[in-house]
A and B are shown apart, each in its own frame.
Chain A
Amino acid sequence: MTRQQQIDRIYKPVLFVLCLVPFLRTAAGAFGIAGQSLGVNPVEDILHSFGEWALRFLVLTLLMTPLRDVTGKPWLLSFRRMLGLYAFFYTLMHFTVWFALDREFNLAGVVEDVLKRPFITIGFLAFLLLIPLAVTSTNGMMRRLGRRWKSLHRLVYPIAILGVWHFYWLVKADVREPLVYAAIFAVLLGWRVWKARQRRTRAAATSRS
């Protein structure tokens, strides 16, 4: 098998199943399958679990490029799309659980929350911004959008910031965990800024000579 075949036939399917584990565990807990159970406040449990997994997958998605730069292994980027789509999946589940179990399909209540409560506003905005990225994640869309695809998918940077901000504003007083995510995102986004600046310096140097 070539490296590409290994990736397509082994690594990607394995990764796909691994990424689904947190969801399956929660689903098993919700329905009391396989001895799994949720905590004393199951709605809050699921809501927070999906929200945190959304953030974790955003971290993993944004980690692939720096990891490739550091290790020099270009095939790492093959997993970026799946990780990004899982970030969207867990965000969608987070939103769905909130809409269905927390807000109990009360549309007026949801609209009011989104408009009135800043931490929900920014969380909802992050969710909305993820939708075009998920929709344009196919090979066909990449071809069709050409260079604009890359610009569009840079939306993931503000999405990450909105996501962690949403978390920061949600907690009552203990901001340690949101700050850990903020620090990780700062490193991942900082890496890109630093690289862009290096490129520009190099380009300037080349054009001058």
Chain B
Amino acid sequence: MLIKRPEYLGGVKPSDIISESVYENRRTFLKAAVAAGLVGSALPAGAAQAPAQADLKYTKNKAFGADLKPNRYEEVTSYNNYYEFGTDKSDPAQNSGKFKPQPWTVKVSGEAEVTGDFSYEDILKPHPLEERIYRMRCVEAWSMVIPWVGFPLGDLLKRFKPTSKAKYVAFTTVNRPSEMPGLRYPVLEWPYVEGLRIDEAMNPLAIMAVGVFGKTLPNQNGAPIRLVTPWKYGFKGIKSIVEIRFTEKQPPTSWNRSQAREYGFYANVNPEVDHPRWSQAREQVIGNGLFAARQPTLMFNGYADQVASLYAGMDLRKNY
């Protein structure tokens, strides 16, 4: 496969992104594990292959969520909706051990001046990584607080010089049936696709995440690179992205294609517009325990100041 490396994208080794100490730590861990007879015996086949998450170099961006208390690591990494690995919340963590997030290539196409295939390293190279603590509201009426590590999506998209015809951005998830057992069943039409209006994509809140809790993304969280749009329901945050396409027309999105009456293109968090089968007014906060009260859901998940202007004059009941 031809991998374009325009000058300004530069080349970068994984070691530029992942700090040295991690390689060392991982080696030590593996040695210890082998010594203890763990690797390849006690661990299931998939788990033995799953790499430990590597530390990332990043700065904390205090402007986003410094006042929020993140959920526990186990909550964020064991309760996931990632149907390509199975539809139970525990499936992605259990069934994603065979998934190989490296090496990785993202194809950029459509209405932009710069298109082609870009390696993971090329994609990341010019972007300083930052940690942002975001609320995550699932369309199923539960929520978490997650410390993502990533960079603004808009900064990435600008590098491809979208043309005036680029009204939308479409994303596609990788489609690897041999590594993703959930793809055997047509629960949704595969591969998973998502999309944003270009001005939504350029909003500073939208980020490409490559890590959580200061380390690279575990497979179940969308390794190696995924979208995070905290004012929208979680399903908009497409995982393991292999294609970014600039389009003139609104691109199809997986859940909308599956059940248009229940899942719209915008999917903005909105306590006033119910899902046809349940209320969106309140949410179950993961980690608060069995007897904790549900918390009221906020308009745009609490990010109205940053994003409400994007939808000025739109009927949000129709454009749900």
A residues contacting B by CB (< 8 A) are: 30, 38-44, 46, 101-102, 104, 109, 113, 117-120, 169-170, 172-174, 176
A173 contacts B258, C-beta separation under 8 Å? yes
Main SS class of interface, B = loop
A169 contacts B277, C-beta separation under 8 Å? yes
Whose C-beta in chain A lies nearest to the C-beta of B78?
A40
Q: Which residues 278-301 of B have a CB within 8 angstroms of A?
A: 278-279, 284, 286-287, 289-291, 293-294
A contact residues around B83 at 8 Å (CB): 173-174
- What's the Cα separation between A43 and B259 when bound, in Å? 26
With beta carbons under 8 angstroms apart, the residue of B75, B79, B279, B287 that contacts A109 is: B279
Chain B contributes a number of interface residues (CB within 8 A of A) equal to 27
B contact residues around A113 at 8 Å (CB): 278-279
Number of A-B contacts (CB under 8 A): 52
Q: Which residues 68-103 of B have a CB within 8 angstroms of A?
A: 74-75, 78-79, 83, 87, 89-90
B52 within 8 A of A: no
Whose C-beta in chain B lies nearest to the C-beta of A30?
B290
A contact residues around B291 at 8 Å (CB): 101
- What's the Cα separation between A30 and B290 when bound, in Å? 7
A contact residues around B277 at 8 Å (CB): 117-120, 169-170
A41 contacts B79, C-beta separation under 8 Å? yes
A contact residues around B289 at 8 Å (CB): 42
B293 contacts A104, C-beta separation under 8 Å? yes
B185 within 8 A of A: yes
A41 contacts B286, C-beta separation under 8 Å? yes
Q: How far is the CB of A94 from chain B (nearest CB, A)?
A: 15
B276 within 8 A of A: yes
Q: How far is the CB of A33 from chain B (nearest CB, A)?
A: 13
B contact residues around A41 at 8 Å (CB): 79, 89, 142, 284, 286
- What's the Cα separation between A113 and B282 when bound, in Å? 14
A to B CB contacts below 8 Å, 16 in the list: A39-B89, A40-B74, A40-B286, A40-B287, A41-B286, A43-B284, A46-B290, A101-B291, A117-B278, A120-B277, A173-B83, A173-B188, A173-B258, A174-B87, A174-B187, A176-B185
